A and B are shown apart, each in its own frame.
Chain A
Amino acid sequence: MTETRNLVQRLPNDIGGLPGDPITRVEHQLEPWEKRCHALADVLDFHKIINTEEKRCGVEALGAEMVGKLTYYERWIVAFANILFRKAILTPEELARKMHEVEVRWLADPLGADLRHT
């Protein structure tokens, strides 16, 4: 009974004050797609399509397992997709079709400049 109380009282993002490992001062240069993902977040915010708090909530709604296993920008893009589904801006079928199209396009022309750049 008391074990589940923590799950109720703290959602996955709510970690302030919990014990933690020593700090390791890790840093990395963003991958091109990660930077595009960050820019996408900003543009979605400018257009009031997804604001910062909706994004944070969207990441939290992925649940503890995904929050723990996906990298930072992987969490963001999955959260964006879910929020866009919920707002009926996109459907899962449309996204699946487009992802397939993007992949096929890459396989047809791996060095093509148009895949990753708007």
Chain B
Amino acid sequence: MNTADEGHDHDDGHAHPHAEIGQSTPPGYYEIMETAVRELLVERKLIGADEIRRQIEVLDSRTPALGAKIVARAWVDPDFKARLLADGRRACEELGISFYDDTGLIVLENTEKVHNLIVCTLCSCYPRPVLGLPPDWYKLKPYRSRAVSEPRAVLAEFGTIIPDDIEIRVSDSTAMVRYLVLPRRPEGTELYSEEQLAALVTRDTMIGVVPATVGSGSAGQ
């Protein structure tokens, strides 16, 4: 390696905070393209100038807390659970969680005999209205390629060991049909309130890569 290069430490490149308004590093080629496409479409009146901003607000409002609320309600209310499993989208809307797109939602219940896992092998389809945006690993090749052919090995990499007598079902999402895993309610939570239960439900439990436990989530105790 060139010693002149070694003399400089450029590792602080990622430490620059993003300015609230504007920024002093030049925009990259693709960012310029994004800005240009958006502005051209607004100029043509094909999209409204404030629609992007409003949709960013919608995206920011969608987090796994919504999915957790759905799961906790299903754990405490068997009638709601039945409606949720029959028509996921309608049951979410019943709780005031709107779907801003045309996607349907199928909720998959984990039981003593079945463990569910969701994936999108072709791209990155994900139940965004109830979980927000997917993590990077969900969109990357290793998870997408292997989840359907060796789910037990994939789960083990998340620290989840599923006994051989439990069937693993992997559901592959599409543009129109999205899935959400309803994890099993952890033992020892009989006296928990619905709110306390919701705090145990993390994003990854609803993707199906880990179980919900009393130590998981924001309520770890």
**B191 adjacent to chain A (CB < 8 Å):** no
Tell me which residues across on chain B come within 8 A of A36, comparing CB atoms.
Answer: 34, 38, 52, 56
Known: A40-B52, A102-B35, A115-B35. A15 touches B121 (CB 8 A): yes
Q: B27 at the A/B interface (Cβ < 8 Å)?
A: yes
Option from A22, A33, A43 in Cβ contact (under 8 Å) with B34: A33
- Whether the pair B146, A74 counts as a contact (CB closer than 8 A) is no
A85→B126 CA distance, assembly (Å)? 28
Tally of contact residues, B, Cβ under 8 A: 62
- Count of A interface residues, CB-CB < 8 Å: 67
The answer to whether B145 touches A33 (Cβ under 8 A) is: no
**17 A-B residue pairs with CB within 8 Å:** A14-B121, A20-B146, A23-B137, A23-B146, A26-B136, A27-B137, A36-B34, A45-B101, A49-B47, A52-B125, A53-B175, A72-B136, A77-B37, A84-B37, A98-B40, A110-B26, A116-B23
**Which residues of B pack against A, CB within 8 Å?**
18-19, 21-24, 26-27, 30-42, 44, 46-47, 49-53, 55-56, 58-59, 100-101, 119, 121-125, 133, 135-137, 139-149, 154, 157-158, 172, 175-176
Q: List CB contacts (< 8 Å) of A55-80 with chain B.
A: 56, 59, 70-74, 77-78, 80
Q: Which residues from 3 to 50 on chain A have a C-beta closer than 8 Å to any C-beta of chain B?
A: 13-28, 30-33, 35-40, 42-47, 49
State in angstroms the CA–CA spacing of A117 and B34 once bound together: 11
In chain A, what residue has the closest Cβ to B43?
A: A98
